[in-house]
Structure 1
Amino acid sequence: MRSELLDRVLSLLPRRRGPLEPPLSERCAQDLALLGEMLGDYPRRGGKGLRSELLLASARAHGAGRDPARWEAALWLAAGLELFQNWVLIHDDIEDDSEERRGRPALHRLHGVPLAINAGDALHASMWAAVHRAGVPGGMEAFLEMVWRTAEGQHLDLAWVEHRRWDLTEADYLEMVRLKTARYTVVVPLHLGALAAGVTPDGRFLAAGLRLGTAFQIRDDVLNLSGDAAKYGKEIGGDLWEGKRTLIVLHWLAHAPQDQQATFLDQMRRDRADKDAGAIAEIHRWLLEGGSVDYAQAYADAQAAEGLELLAGALADAPDQAAARELLNTVRELATREA
């Protein structure tokens, strides 16, 4: 399925000019060939495809797998979700000044910020082409809601970094995560799968998805500090270098000794290039040893359990119960993943 979705994604990227269009100069042709390479870069790097997998599992549970036309529509929506993920990641890596993505240098590290922004914009347009190709009633509206809510969450995340805000509560972090991550990671894929099958999404998907998506993000925060770099695909400790507000850090700040708090806040006032590697390594150790990682993981486990219970109830009468069980297993793995 990953190969089929990649083929669909790549089929929506800009193609060579048609025979009736004026030919390009050799210089322009070469430069546009680079754009084509950049557009396919993140999609070809792979990734786990968790969100598109969840969408397709939802579509099967709601009966789309028994109808070739509806399954075809689900596949196009899944391709659209993959395109969304990739253009957002290109922009996110720039906004966070990230070094790596999926084990390789981030796109802006390879080609510069202006070209990477432009590539992300082009993938954004291709996302709408996939949604249009799907032709699912309600699909366009679901994607619009997803883009808006993700942008709101990203704004909160970026604004806190830009304004050096650390007077935040755990509730602030959780609200940001529900907007930025939980909706497009779980809520919207569940909704889109039902819509592709021609079914009205169950009202419990929202509450279930917010809890499961929150568990997913907190687990990602945990892995950023304690994961296996070879499996994680991103820079271990990158959240500290980027000054990310996480449940782990906010809990630790509320309980850490004043001298450690002072060291932490001094480093977080600095841009990435001005941070001290030794101090960041020491802060990393404090976070691992201070109990806040375990606290965050326990919170994530509780959110995952609540979300799974709600989702199981929402799927109790789904047309394809075998697929519904597969869907529950998918989200369980999503919220408790090891990398």
Structure 2
Amino acid sequence: MTAAFSLAQVREAIQRYLLEALPKPEAYQRPELAEYARLLRDYPERGGKMLRGMLLVYTGLAYGAKLEALLPVAAALELFQNWALIHDDIEDASEERRGKPALHKLYGMPLALNAGDALHARMWAILIKAQVPHTVLSEFVKLVELTAQGQHLEMTWMERQRFDLQEADYLEMVGQKAAYYTAVAPLRLGALAAGVEPPVVFEEAGMKLGIGFQIVDDVLNLEGDPAKYGKEIAGDLWEGKRTLILLHFLQKADPDERARAEHLLRIPREQKPAAEVGWLHERLLQSGAVAYAQRAAEALLTEGLKQLEPVLLEAPQKDFAVGVLGVLQSLVRREA
């Protein structure tokens, strides 16, 4: 078999499968339930790059699985991303998602939270209907639990005004909250859906790639193109996120600047002075903290790809293995 499926074709196939698994407004006579269906479809219909789902599909194809068997697993993974983002946006009081107002900004927190819960159930329904192997279900349990655990770490640090954190704390948190489901889980799920025990390197290298991806996201939050980024620029500062960039800045700042930054970050989002947020934004760029984080991300991404490449190229379907590396390049370099 040759790599006959382009990235665009795989993305379209995953999107089509995902949307078919969701309720349609026209199926309901009651207006309230038609609105319920619209809420469930809102984030999925906004699109997204679906790089995690595509990484899963290409990995599965590389290990001999059929596309038809991989699509429900990829759609479920993308559905996880959607319901987790709804909850994440509520927890972070985020303003935007994929270039539009966050769901709770459009419909209010209770309805958005309920929609996220419903999408969570639909995720499991897709997997059950497809009769995926138990190993696939177990991997989904792990990725959901790890993501929630990492999210708990981040939220408690903000709620309890923690400023004594080190870079190692950030790496631990982001490894659980974002890196596992971004890179490790798609690689492992692709292999598991093909009936293959995932190579051990998938976890170590995948964590490096996933952490690097998140650091790049943190960088883009401060210096990205608003039209391409899809989220609020400097939203991490308004929300008080403990990013690698912020922690590095606080460690290197003089006492007065550190005290000023910490005072700002303690203020609730709705009360933060815009001028002070602008000051901190500018200082993070000027101080070299953003450049430091970018270098750290590049090192992790390079190491991860170097570890994965020889293992992936030993997969039975080499053309698709090359496709996996292409998806990873798109994922970590934010090219697609």
Aligning the two structures, in what range does the TM-score lie when normalised by the shorter sequence?
over 0.9
Indicate if the aligned counterparts of 1:74 and 1:134 stay in contact, CA closer than 8 A.
no
Identify the residue that residue 17 of structure 2 maps to in structure 1: 8
Aligned match of 1:265: 262
User: What do the CA deviations read for 1:203-223 (whole angstroms, capped 9, x no partner)?
Assistant: 110001000001000000000
Partners of 1:173 and 1:192 in 2: how far apart?
26
Amino acid at match of 1:289: Q
Map 1:161-310; keep pairs closer than 5 Å: 161-310=158-307
Does the 8 Å contact 2:60/2:194 carry over to 1?
yes
Determine the structure 2 residue equivalent to 1:84: 80
Deviations 1:183-236 (A, max 9, x none): 100000001111121211111100010000010000000000010000000001
Partner Cα separation in structure 2 for residue 159 and residue 258 of structure 1: 25
Hey, what does 1:53 align to over in structure 2? 54
Please identify, of 147-156 and 319-328, the stretch whose mean Cα deviation from structure 2 is larger. 319-328
SS in 2 for 1:90: helix
What SS is found at the alignment partner of 1:202? coil
Query: Which whole-Å deviations, capped at 9, do the CAs of 1:97-152 have from their partners, x for residues lacking one?
Result: 00000000000000000000000000000000111133232110010000000000
Distance 1:257 1:338, change over 3 A: farther
Determine the C-alpha separation between the residues in 2 that align with 1:338 and 1:167. 35
Task: After TM superposition, give the deviation of residue 328 of structure 1 in Å.
Answer: 1.1
Shift of 1:7: 2.4
Separation in structure 1 between the aligned mates of residue 141 and residue 175 of structure 2, nearest angstrom: 16
Equivalent position amino acid for 2:309 in 1 = A
Taking the aligned partners of 2:174 and 2:25, their CA distance within structure 1 comes to: 40
CA offset at residue 320 of structure 1? 1.1
Unaligned runs of 5+ in 2: 1-9
The answer (yes or no) to whether the contact 2:25–2:38 under 8 Å persists in 1 is no
Query: Which residue in the other structure is 1:93 paired with?
Result: 89
Q: How many residues align?
A: 326
Per-residue Cα deviation, 1:144-201 (whole angstroms, up to 9, x for no partner): 0000000000100111111111110000000001101111000000011111212111
Relative to the length of structure 2, the TM-score reads 0.94
Structure 2: distance between partners of 1:115 and 1:16: 16
Instruction: Check the 8 A contact 2:25/2:34 in 1, yes or no.
Output: no
Take 2:318 and 2:22, find their aligned partners in 1: how far apart are those partners? Answer: 36
Alignment-mate amino acid for residue 119 of structure 1: A
Are the equivalent residues in 2 in contact too, given 1:72–1:134 (CA < 8 A)? no
Residues 17 and 233 (structure 1 numbering): CA distance in 2 closer, same or farther, change over 3 Å?
A: closer
The letter for the 2-side match of 1:84 is F
1:136 aligned counterpart, secondary structure:
coil
| Matched-pair identity in % | 53
Label 1:17 to 1:240 Cα distance change in 2 as closer, same or farther (>3 A). closer
RMSD of aligned alpha carbons: 1.6
Deviation at 1:16, TM superposition (A): 7.8
User: CA separation of 1:4/1:325 partners in 2, compared to 1, >3 Å: closer, same or farther?
Assistant: closer
**Structure 2 residue 123 is matched with structure 1 residue 122:** no
Name 2:142's counterpart in structure 1: 145
CA contact (8 A) 2:219 2:294 kept: yes
**2:310 equivalent to 1:313:** yes
Amino acid at match of 1:257: D
Offset, 1:338: 5.6
Misfit runs of 4+, over 4 Å:
15-18
Query: What amino acid maps onto 1:231 in structure 2?
Result: K
Match of 2:99 in 1: 103
- Name the residue aligned to 2:325: 328
Residue 102 of structure 1 aligns with an amino acid whose one-letter code is: R
Aligned partner of 1:67 in structure 2 is: none
Structure 1 residue 17 displacement after superposition = 11
